[in-house]
Amino acid sequence: MTDYSRLRERMVQRQIAGRGVRSEKVLDAMRKVPRERFLPNGQAVWAYDDAPLPIGDGQTISQPYIVAYMTEALVLDGGEKVLEIGTGSGYAAAVLAEIAADVYTIERIDGLAIMARRILDKLGYQNVHVRHGDGTLGWPEHAPFDAIVVTAGGPDVPDTLKRQLKIGGRLVMPIGKTTWFQELVRVTRITAADFDTEYLVPVRFVPLIGEEGWDS
């Protein structure tokens, strides 16, 4: 029988801490969330490989390192309200939920939203709220958010999402002028009208589809 807890700890040490992620909150969250539970049948054997994996409908579960990296880039202290765009399998939402007070996550593909909600409920993540819809428009009923993370690449950061950040809040998202290569950016809201943008690392994500993203 596979010892997933041992594989998870090795993943944290080698793939995440070993590549520079230092936040103890993030490392602890990555130790707690069972990635194998978020994968389709037959894929659990690869759960702790340092790679994205297909989850259906042309979507993927991100590699563990990039989930940890993006979570650390949000600079969460604990207790925040976080918005995630692109629920996918629900894995990254679970990682966020180990740190934040509440996670609001939006998935445009109905089948994935249903699957993610089912898995998160089974694992007891009552502080994760899943919605099916256009993530580029955010979740205005629960704005403003302390942090926003977008797990798909768009041509630019949607203005609607920027407006749903609290003053001092941070948004992490891949952007690029093509659908096959992006740069991960962190946007911090300085005032009601002013934002600071930092460019972090080159990445490759599935395209962000929606009214303020790419056309389907």
Residues annotated as part of the active site: 62
Q: What is the DSSP string of 27-87?
A: HHHHHHS-GGGGS-TT-GGGTTSSS-EEEETTEEEPPHHHHHHHHHHT---SS-EEEEE--
Structure token pair of residue 63: 């590699």
Rg, C-alpha atoms of the chain:
16
Number of C-beta neighbours around residue 198 at 10 A: 12
The answer to whether 123 touches 34, Cβ cutoff 8 Å, is: yes
Q: Which residues of 50-73 are buried (b: 16+ CB within 10 A; e: fewer)?
A: eebbebeeebbbbebbbbbbbbbb
